Structure 1
């Protein structure tokens, strides 16, 4: 694949961690504006080169970075504008709620849980005492921009109890142009290796891609806090369908029109080996009442057309492995399959990735990645070499111990022969100087002809005013 070179045009700097970048046309306006949501709870938009505040919900957000040395994956995670936002003023938020801090489902297990294939107890853990053993509560809300220009909350769609502080999804709310429904991408609940196997359990809300029919009014304005679909009131169950399971953590879902269909692109963040991008066109979502009925009857669901990304048995195209250093040779690692039985069980039902890239890659023209942070199709003509491709970002290139840290911009193309795709680095000419530059988000405008990149000078959300947003230009 050809090497592509681009420039980064600075739009705004010295903001907090930019988690969502997307455009919308404000009611009464005539031009698309770029909206930027920060993890700490601010939403800005750019008008005539000036940054303006759209909404500030910082008081509603859980205290970030306190329990984990400044690092956090909670906060304001999703922002989506209703397809009719220009006319109805409706938009949607997903965030971690202030005052809901709990001790965690396995106290002290943030990112540190490791299964032991020799100890069945570690392979079959259950999340018990959920009402007291949890980390925080996430909420999905509907808001409206009032005629006086002030946003106001209208109702809560979901309240979700989460076991750990990580893997809550990011850029987690997007509207499907295919169905008109709100799509929520939620991670597996966190720690490492999905200790409770929530992502494969049909009743668990964690580790799924869910569609919410926002047209149906449930008349329930403050739903109960739940972890499982069967705990939801029936009117809410009837608004939900499940598109996919087997999700580890997702930087959103994106759609690309292809004749009369839409190709869906989903990035699944990896554990220790590999980052993966999946794509699918045809799928058969399962209504939540149907999922619950099958569970009550203990009957086998018709999974034909239901998407399964394979986690926790599979990490992309590989059986999920644990890596142990070799004492005799530090350059070598031993890789042990963590969940062999689950890898076998889900091997046929899972979707193969479109493209994967590795955390360690010896090939000279490739890179080692850390975590996938954005996936967007590019349909513009401004950068001809990228037209029709899928662009993605990774948090930080694995350079061993060579500072300063740099994120990665890269792209792939869809193969007609269905083979696993290759990918290529997109080179940027921007000089970040001696400061770290983590690539934390990737966004696009309404017709996918422009790309926006969110960069942060620190991995820690508690390090304020380190964020910068660029447009990716020729």
Structure 2
């Protein structure tokens, strides 16, 4: 695919790390405002080119940059304010939804050290998450809030409280409403560490590693839901509001929807482990009600989308890559979970597009982590019309000293067919500072797209963020 050139137009600067970028029409208004949620807990909106504070929940966010009480984590973190979604009738009812990591819930973590599977040691392939009530990292909450008529915001209720085993893989841009079903969609990562130590993503009972629809319009009459890790730990009235769309999720930057010929194509990007990043697409699916999953937890669920993790990393069996002891310029690769790769080989969805962490081709790039996937339905950039734009955190293998993210695009397909991808070039001068591409957003009809860029990998480095609009090249 040919490269496309665009320009980046700054719309907000000197903000904290932007995790969600999307638009909504405020009650009493007639035009969309651009909303930006930051990882540390602020939500801003831009109207008439003026940036205003919508909500500040920083005191309610877990202390970021530390993974154990009193121990520094070096400033990098994957917790915080991770999801923001506006009810389809937000303009009239003022309802919106948040997903964030709760202050005061720091735990010791589920394992005492980093996990790496050893195919020669079966004990590393069959670990169980035990003592969950004490051995966890933190608690995430999904909440319903309301914008009141006086302009103030107020929490109305808690929908879910999830105990998470590790600090990472909690999802990002994790809340979106489906235009197809009208339900709130929550994307949860596999719980973190690396290689999904407890294989939570493939276990039908585990909330981790799933894409879940929530019927947010249903009143369950539960004011304080219990903190859980598994579906069967939820009260029955909450179970009845939930359906599962997909499993086999490692970590995803949300789900997006593209309306084509009276149907919706769903796009999900799965962040890779050591080898590749993957984007999946599908139209038809049969969500499994949680109540049925509980009754038939060990059975296959026809129609349930399976992205294949942890046995598969996109189009490839999950591998462990090590330096060759005899030649440091080469790599040694072993299949990490052979049996799981075989078991899920025919059940999984093939990715739409895969790109690699190492890619010698001159027209491609080596990626680090997928950070956003959004269809483009505008006409201002004709080469991208009907295409799917995606972003990677930072390009690998370049001699330049400062990190640079990557914009790219791929074609539209429903499912089962793979696509090539092309690079989207920008001429923006970031100078000598790093520029990590941390998020990708769009307006409601997907005609305008926004890129979140941060000058550091550490959330504790403040005010280094800029949000750009992606516009035609001059």
SS class of match (1:77): strand
Report the Cα distance in structure 2 between the residues aligned to 1:271 and 1:347, rounded to whole angstroms: 18
Answering whether residue 443 of structure 2 is matched by residue 445 of structure 1, we say: yes
Report the Cα distance in structure 1 between the residues aligned to 2:324 and 2:228, rounded to whole angstroms: 43
- Which sections of structure 2, spanning at least 5 residues, go unmatched? 68-72
With structure 1 as the length reference, what TM-score do the two structures score? 0.97
SS class of match (1:230): helix
Deviations 1:298-318 (A, max 9, x none): 5x24x2211000000000000
**1:89 match:** 94
- Measured after TM superposition, the shift of residue 5 of structure 1 is 0.3
With structure 2 as the length reference, what TM-score do the two structures score? 0.97
Report the Cα distance in structure 2 between the residues aligned to 1:264 and 1:217, rounded to whole angstroms: 27
Report the Cα distance in structure 2 between the residues aligned to 1:117 and 1:402, rounded to whole angstroms: 37
Deviating 4+ runs (over 2 angstroms)? 327-331, 399-402, 414-419
Q: Give the 5 Å matches for 1:144-223.
A: 144-223=146-225
**2:104 match:** 99
Report the Cα distance in structure 1 between the residues aligned to 2:131 and 2:246, rounded to whole angstroms: 27
- Measured after TM superposition, the shift of residue 401 of structure 1 is 5.3
SS class of match (1:166): coil
Answering whether residue 461 of structure 2 is matched by residue 463 of structure 1, we say: yes
Contact kept? 2:10, 2:468, Cα under 8 Å: yes
SS class of match (1:188): coil
- Measured after TM superposition, the shift of residue 108 of structure 1 is 3.1
- Measured after TM superposition, the shift of residue 330 of structure 1 is 2.2
Report the Cα distance in structure 2 between the residues aligned to 1:420 and 1:443, rounded to whole angstroms: 24
- Measured after TM superposition, the shift of residue 417 of structure 1 is 9.8
Report the Cα distance in structure 1 between the residues aligned to 2:178 and 2:460, rounded to whole angstroms: 33
**1:351 match:** 349
Report the Cα distance in structure 2 between the residues aligned to 1:35 and 1:329, rounded to whole angstroms: 50
What RMSD over aligned residues (CA atoms) do the two structures have, in Å? 1.0
- Measured after TM superposition, the shift of residue 234 of structure 1 is 0.3
- Measured after TM superposition, the shift of residue 415 of structure 1 is 5.0
- Measured after TM superposition, the shift of residue 418 of structure 1 is 5.0
Answering whether residue 411 of structure 2 is matched by residue 409 of structure 1, we say: no
SS class of match (1:235): helix
Q: Give the 5 Å matches for 1:49-448.
A: 49-67=49-67, 68-109=73-114, 113-295=115-297, 300-301=299-300, 303-400=301-398, 402-414=400-412, 418-448=416-446
- Measured after TM superposition, the shift of residue 157 of structure 1 is 0.1
SS class of match (1:442): strand
Between the two proteins, the alignment pairs up a number of residues equal to 467
SS class of match (1:159): strand
Report the Cα distance in structure 1 between the residues aligned to 2:125 and 2:48, rounded to whole angstroms: 55
- Measured after TM superposition, the shift of residue 345 of structure 1 is 0.3
- Measured after TM superposition, the shift of residue 402 of structure 1 is 3.2
**2:13 match:** 13
Report the Cα distance in structure 1 between the residues aligned to 2:206 and 2:419, rounded to whole angstroms: 32
Answering whether residue 5 of structure 2 is matched by residue 35 of structure 1, we say: no
Cα distance change of structure 1 residues 459 and 84 upon mapping to structure 2, 3 Å threshold: same
- Measured after TM superposition, the shift of residue 370 of structure 1 is 0.1
Deviations 1:368-401 (A, max 9, x none): 0000000000000010000000000000000355
Report the Cα distance in structure 1 between the residues aligned to 2:238 and 2:399, rounded to whole angstroms: 50
Report the Cα distance in structure 1 between the residues aligned to 2:450 and 2:295, rounded to whole angstroms: 43
Which sits farther off after the overlay, 180-189 or 323-332? 323-332
Report the Cα distance in structure 1 between the residues aligned to 2:276 and 2:23, rounded to whole angstroms: 31
Deviations 1:255-298 (A, max 9, x none): 00112210000000000000000000000000000000113xx5
Report the Cα distance in structure 2 between the residues aligned to 1:399 and 1:452, rounded to whole angstroms: 26
SS class of match (2:27): coil
SS class of match (1:292): helix
